[in-house]
Amino acid sequence: MDDATAPPVGAPRPAVSRRSALLGLAAVGAIAAVDVGGFVCAAGTLDTDALTPARLTDRFEEVAGHHDGFRRNHAKGVGATGYFTATGAGSAVSTASVFRVGRIPVTGRFSLSGGNPSTPDADATVRGLGLAFDLPDGEQWRTAMVNTPVFPDRTPDGFYERLLASKTDPATGKPDPDRMAAFLSRHPETAAAMNLIRQHPPTSGFDDSTFYGLNAFHCTNDTGVTVPVRWTLVPEQPARSPGLPPLPGRDYLFDTLTAAVSRGPLRWRMLLTIGQPGDRTDDATRPWPPTRQVLDVGTVTIDAVQTEAPHTARDLNFDPLILPTGIAPSDDLLLSARSAVYTESFTRRSGEPTTPALVDVDGVRDDR
């Protein structure tokens, strides 16, 4: 809790029951219901008659509606280009060429969670940053990150159940809080993750957001030693509180991003957190201890944003399993789940008629 909002010392505190706490978390659950975009249906881990990539993609469309040509989640977004400058420190844990000293081109995409591309911007909406690193010898590294430190669900089954629990009640136009409270009572790991998310309120925009990779991966160095890692992008731009003047418009987060890039490049430090024996690599709801070793492996620089025209981020699927030699998946079931649903969504939208987006970049409409 922020000190500015904490009750004075000695002041009586309202009684909090388990039910009231869960109902309070339900509000966070509604925001996070479709936050990262398809962490579901790992092949071989679910009953494929009950849960498939197609069925989960259908569920996203039921929640947000069908919008031809757009991603089923994180539909609202803009493309970006820039480069990654490696410090060389990452080579201590991985042979991946991305970590060798030098500069490589990067294609990115800033986005907001949800499947409706015309939804107004909101501070509480989860922000995403997808990156594709173009490496030597034709390799690529793709990663999709968000501005929350953990993911609300540990398993694909839990994600799907939460998606159902957050479905809008036609009578109220909002999710049923009792249904969400019942879900949270069955999934204490999600309740704990949402509490942690609430303790990390959003900053003013994309440019001052920290982006988290959430899932664990394995890195192997040139001596054959393998360690678990998680990556984070920490902005060099100073963090600002949300809601500052000027008063926001419908696309204020994207407008602010475009204005910031027009004034000069934006930069994020890439940090690798090194796990130790006993640290869970299969549970994105739990952060590792803050005492873990952290390597500063380089800087992501974004120097241009653009509409999602052909041959930009529009055509990229930020599949987390597109990895270079030296980085491998962990045992987190959400990784293969994300990959499966990303592919299903990409296949659908690539075969659909194009429709105009609602995000402008310097007055240029995103007509796809």
CB of 250 within 8 A of CB of 121? Answer: yes
Q: What is the DSSP string of 282-348?
A: S-TTSPPPTTS-EEEEEEEEEEEEE---TTTGGG----TT---TTEEE-S-HHHHHHHHHHHHHHHH
C-alpha distances in Å from residue 347, one per residue of 14, 41, 106, 127, 197 = 51, 16, 23, 23, 32
Is there a contact between 129 and 110 (Cβ–Cβ < 8 Å)? yes
* Catalytic machinery residues: 74
Q: Are 51 and 163 in contact (CB under 8 A)?
A: no
- CA-CA distance, 75 to 78, in Å (whole number)? 10
Does 83 belong to an annotated binding site? no
CB 114 within 8 A of CB 72: no
Residue among 226, 216, 232, 214 at smallest CA distance from 326 = 226
* Binding-site residue ranges for heme: 342
Feature table: binding site: 342
